[in-house]
Structure 1
């Protein structure tokens, strides 16, 4: 009786694609929130002091920000795969992104005064940003943790029929 070889997916390239896709989705939803005036334009996007003032308001600043978010998302996905992949749910990803959100607003915004200040945001902006981080955590966490179960016995039953 021959054995059926199951196709294998190499996890690291898949994780890179998941991280990149998560970063792109994060940026697209962020831009949609800006378009519909849920958040202000510069809520999470830093001011790029190394760029000329005319470039800071143009597409160059957005391209740099998108690239930075995608890079951070890929690194986050790789770290998630290395440390928490065995989890079968999306909850660790959501929890980690909530911690990252708290660090961004708490440490960088309030304590170091380098990032966004949560006390100056409107309530719908802070809720939108929290939902954005939760969505990203759920997407990356579930996409990496999900393994489709494979049962070789079901193939044997299908062949014999």
Structure 2
């Protein structure tokens, strides 16, 4: 007889695929907008998360600080929950990187071409430099691949038949 507590034998309740998709969305928003902040800092891009979310509406001294950038990155993480839900409900059954890459390109076009009038601190699309186009385009593609591949992988893993019986039998 062992002296191990009962809690050790209890399994954690598994997260649903939807909950994992939300976690992936928030993490992806934080990661890729953080990298976007670095590209802005090193002048690869004329825009950052703070340009969209904070500087477009507040023109204070602190809106150009790193605190504003960090708050904007967290804001993008929260907005990314909506993006993850959109991908989950529309494309979760798709496999591979291409659906995510196309999703990222569509998001980039939506943000930089369609929604630009909502953000006064962002120059018109044609006024942005080609460096900004390429840098932000690549970031959005990588973001889309991260979101898409991760959500699709979790969905496929969750819906795959369990092989635990064959593993136990050594088959």
Q: TM-score, normalised by structure 2?
A: 0.73
Counterpart pick for 2:100 among 88, 93, 109: 93
Q: Give the C-alpha shift of residue 155 in structure 1.
A: 4.3
Q: How far apart, CA to CA, are the structure 2 residues paired with 1:74 and 1:127? A: 25
Q: How far apart, CA to CA, are the structure 1 residues paired with 2:14 and 2:142? A: 28
Q: How far apart, CA to CA, are the structure 2 residues paired with 1:130 and 1:75? A: 20
Q: How far apart, CA to CA, are the structure 1 residues paired with 2:18 and 2:80? A: 14
CA contact (8 A) 1:26 1:132 kept: yes
Q: How far apart, CA to CA, are the structure 2 residues paired with 1:151 and 1:15? A: 20
Structure 2 CA distance for partners of 1:102 and 1:12, relative to 1, 3 Å: same
Asked if 1:67 corresponds to 2:79, the answer is no
Q: How far apart, CA to CA, are the structure 2 residues paired with 1:86 and 1:8? A: 20
Q: How far apart, CA to CA, are the structure 1 residues paired with 2:134 and 2:33? A: 16
Alignment match, 1:18: 24
Gap runs ≥5 in structure 2: 1-12
CA contact (8 A) 1:105 1:116 kept: no
CA contact (8 A) 2:28 2:80 kept: yes
Alignment match, 2:125: 118
Residue-by-residue CA offset, 1:59-113 (whole Å, 9 max, x unaligned): 342133112211111111012112221112232222222122112222233x778
Counterpart pick for 2:57 among 36, 49, 62: 49
Gap runs ≥5 in structure 1: 1-6
Q: Give the C-alpha shift of residue 32 in structure 1.
A: 2.1
Displaced runs of 4+ in structure 1, greater than 6 A?
A: none
Counterpart pick for 1:156 among 138, 141, 166: 166
Counterpart pick for 2:46 among 35, 40, 43: 40
Aligned residues: 153
CA contact (8 A) 2:36 2:48 kept: no
Alignment match, 1:128: 135
Q: Give the C-alpha shift of residue 56 in structure 1.
A: 1.3
